[in-house]
Structures are given as structure tokens and as C-alpha cells.
Chain A
Amino acid sequence: MTDVARIWSYLSTEPLLWLTCTIVVYVAAEAVAMRLGRRALANPVLFSVIIIAPILWLSDTPYETYFEGAQFIHFLLGPATVALAVPLHANLRTVTRTAGPILAALLVGSVVAALSAVLLAKAFGLPDQVIVSLSPKSTTAPVALGISEALGGLPTLTAVLVILTGIIGAITVTPLMNAMGVTDWRARGFAVGVAAHGIGTARAFQVNELAGTFAGIGMALNAILTSLIAPLIVALVL
């Protein structure tokens, strides 16, 4: 065995390699996204996945091995969900002033996001397990995984559908809102938070801080609401 092969066979089974790989690729993806002027399509999550997935494929690394390293980052999704209480508390006055629009937009956005996905998927004849896995797709990842598991979906598929939804929301929100002529940052941010969770929220923070705050609120409230309505919607449609 050559030295390189020996080093590789050691490192490839240790968490360090894939943890480092994830962070380094993300830092590079962020830098590229920044260089591209934070354009909608320049999404760091999308770039990172596009780079890391082929690396795993070419090095014949199973996802489970990759995840042993990457789980340390994945774990932070839980604390990040808890941490959302901080910007919500800091902006409490703005939020309570707009409580009416927030609650109405939450209810409509949340139901439309889950119901339209489940109905469309059913119309296209997708397998039931895929339909169930789609139902929490607008919810932030740790919550969506819990919902999917509880309803008999495939949590790993849900994770991918959630990420894709986030990327789609982050890419489409700016052109969509501009085309609709929406200038209220609170409304723009809230809508992308409800429809496209944390990735949409990250995008909203890039564009405008008020939009980002409202996106975070939309994401947090939608996580609570979807865990209550997704079981009803799935039971109704399937």
C-alpha cells in the first residue's frame, strides 16, 4: 500500500475529513456567491452540494461515512431553531404591531405550501411515501424530519426535498416579489420564511435585515403550525 493510500484509508473513515470538507467547501461557496454579487442563483447551499456530492461519488464514499463527520454541523440545526427566539424577542414590538397580518399570512401560507404540494404530488401519481415526505417541505429541516418520520415518510428524502424547496424559494423570491411590486420588507421576508424556511431566511437576511427578521419569524411559526396541520392534510388527501 502506498503512503497516500494508507493516509486516505485512515482519514476517509474519520469524522475530521468530512467535517473539514463541508466547512471548507461552504466557505469557498460563500466566497463565490459573494463574488457573484449575492445574485439570487448564487446560493451557497446549492453550490456546496454540487461540489460535495461528486466528491463523495468519485471517492466512493457512502453518505453514512460522510454524515459521521458532517453530523456535527447538522446537529446545530436544533440549537439554531432554539436561537431564533433571540431575533424574535429583539423585534417583539415590530412583530406585535403586525400580529394580524403575520397570523393571517402564516395560516394561509402554511396551508397552501403543504396542501398544494400534497395535492400536486397526488395528481402526478407519485408514490404515497414520496407524498408524505413532501408534506413538511416548507418547514425547517429538523422539524420537517420529525414530521416526516412521525407520518411514515422517508426522513432522508424529506431532508433533500426541504433543502430543494429552500433553494427554490431563495432563488425565486426576489424576482417574484419585484414582479408583484411588493415593497414592504416585512411582507417579503415573512412570505419567504413561511414558504422556504431557513434557506429563504438566510437569503432574506442578505437582502434586508428587516426582511430577514420577519423571515425568521415566519420560519419559526410555520414550524409550529406545520407540525400540527401536516398530519391532517396527509390524512385528508391520502
Chain B
Amino acid sequence: MINAIAVILSCQLAGEAAARGLSLPVPGPVLGFVLLFTLLWLRPSLAESIGGTARGILAHLSLLFVPAGVGVVGNLDLLSRNWLPIAVVLVVSTVIAMIASVATFLAVHRLTRGGND
């Protein structure tokens, strides 16, 4: 487990350093994700040693959002003044994004299906 943590944190650290150092618009953890994916691609055996820990973190992904979610208490003023438009924006835009995305996925899948699945 400690090896896995070392690998994951090193990727994140390298990602953060690259994002800051080169002032890239992509956040550090995303670069860390790309880096870890590249490492796994180059050395597939790495997946065995870090897979368990990585899945362990991802299994409780919901928990990780709770501290930020509780931040609602610090924004109650702004939110209560604008709650209706904000609620409409969030619901409408999230639902149409899902509709647009799923419709595109299925349409392109139908167009490109070359008998391979």
C-alpha cells in the first residue's frame, strides 16, 4: 500500500510542479493522472502493485466531496440571494449536458460500428 501511495503522490507532485513551472492551464492532478497512465502503459506490471490502493481510494470517492460540500455554510448568503436562478442553471445545464453527451455517444457509435462489437 505504501508503495502505491508513493507512486500516486509522486505523480501528483510531478504534475503540480509541471503545471506551475510551465504555467500550463491544466491542473496538476490531471497531469499526474496522465503521467500515471503513461507509467502503467509503459510498465503494465505496475498495475498489480498500485491497483488495490487506487481502487480503495476510488471506492469511497463520494466521501472526498463532503468537506467541499459543507462549504455551503460559507456561501449561504450568496446562494440564498440567488437560489432560484442558480438551481435552474444547475439542473437545466446538467440535464441537457447529459442528453447531448449520451445522444452524441450513441449516434457516433451507430455510425462507426464496424461489426467489431
A contact set with B: CB distance below 8 Å: 22-23, 25-26, 30, 43-46, 48-49, 52-53, 56-57, 63, 66-67, 70-71, 73-74, 76-90, 92, 97-98, 100-102, 104-109, 112-113, 116-117, 120-121, 124-127, 130, 134, 137-138, 141-143, 146-147, 150, 154, 156-157, 159-166, 168-169, 172-173, 176-177, 180, 182, 184, 186-188, 190-192, 194-196, 198-199, 201-202, 216, 218, 220, 223-224, 227-228, 231
Contacts and interface: CB of A to CB of B under 8 A. Distances in A.
Contacts of B54: 83, 85-87
A86 B59 CA distance: 12
Contacts of B8: 79, 82-83
Given A81-B33, A146-B27, A231-B25, A138 B97 contact: yes
Contact of A83 (B57, B96, B106): B57
A25 B105 CA distance: 37
Given A82-B11, A83-B57, A89-B37, A161 B90 contact: yes
A99 to B, nearest CB: 9
Nearest to B62: A202
Given A82-B36, A104-B104, A184-B109, A124 B85 contact: yes
Interface in B79-117: 79, 82, 85-86, 88-102, 104-109, 111-112, 116-117
B112 to A, nearest CB: 4
12 contacts: A48-B66, A63-B70, A82-B33, A101-B109, A116-B96, A120-B88, A124-B88, A180-B99, A182-B106, A184-B105, A191-B97, A195-B97
B58 A216 contact: yes
Interface residues of B, number: 74
B14 to A, nearest CB: 10
B65 A199 contact: yes
Contacts of A49: 66, 69-70, 72
Given A79-B57, A223-B30, A190 B105 contact: yes
